[in-house]
Amino acid sequence: MKKGMVIFTLMILMLFSVPLWAEEQLMTKLYFDKWLEKSTEPLKQKITQLQEDNLILKKDVNRIRDQVTIEIKVAIGNKEACVEGQTVKLDVAPVIRNERTMVPVRFIGEAFGAEFFWEEATRKVTYLKDDNVIEIFVDKKIAKLNNKEIVLDTAPTISEGRTLVPLRFVSEHMGAILDWDDQTKTVIIYG
């Protein structure tokens, strides 16, 4: 009889505790949802602020580009470039080597209004622009910027008797900004 009474009591407790347990789970989920919303709200606000800041920066970049005096466009494999809306014939078409755009040394120097020199004995190209001296050596991945050595991703090379230099390295050290149009394989330089 006692055993039956214990079983009966346990069954009654279980019947009453299942709704309480389900209610406790529901309360726990509600509590968690509120906690999650409350703790992620600062992150949501930061994300929104960062998105707004990003839009402002994009507008600033576009405004700066509009103020830039030189626009140069070169397309991979095309012996015609565009400098300030004027077509310029290139001796050698720009190419991609090791994921870097390579352009004729004379073209990029003249486009930026830099002085440049070729030293046959050392196979060195020197650009002088403003206060910068850029030295690049054919077939070497070491360049110098104001006598400070810099390792290049791709060494300058000679193609069809013309020296080709890494466009990004030279342009950026002359104060330019570059864009890449993957569809047309065109580099747009603002400098």
**How does pLDDT run across 111-164, given as a tens digit for each residue?**
888 888 899 999 999 999 888 899 999 999 999 999 999 999 999 999 999 999
Please state, rounded to an integer, the average pLDDT across all residues of the chain.
Answer: 85
Q: What is the mean pLDDT of residues 5-21?
A: 60
CATH code assigned at 110: 3.30.457.10
- Whether 158 and 85 share a structural domain: yes
- Considering the domain architecture, whether residues 54 and 142 belong to the same structural domain is answered as no
Q: Are residues 85 and 61 in the same domain?
A: no
pTM, 2 dp:
0.62
Residues 138/155, Cβ–Cβ less than 8 Å: yes
Tens of pLDDT along 61-88?
Answer: 777 766 656 889 999 999 999 998 899 9
The answer on 157 and 88 residing in a single domain is yes
Whole-angstrom distance, CA of residue 180 vs CA of residue 111: 18
- End position of a domain, from candidates 39, 67, 95: 67
Q: Which two tokens stand for residue 3?
A: 């055993």
* Residue range 19-25: mean pLDDT, rounded: 54
Number of domains in the chain: 2
Give dist(CA 64, CA 62) in Å, integer: 5
In which domain, by residue range, is 124 found? 71-190
Domain boundary among 18, 43, 67: 67
User: Which residues, other chains included, contact 76 with Cβ-Cβ below 8 Å and sequence gap of 6+?
Assistant: 93, 94, 95, 96, 101, 185, 186
At position 9, the amino acid (one-letter code) is T
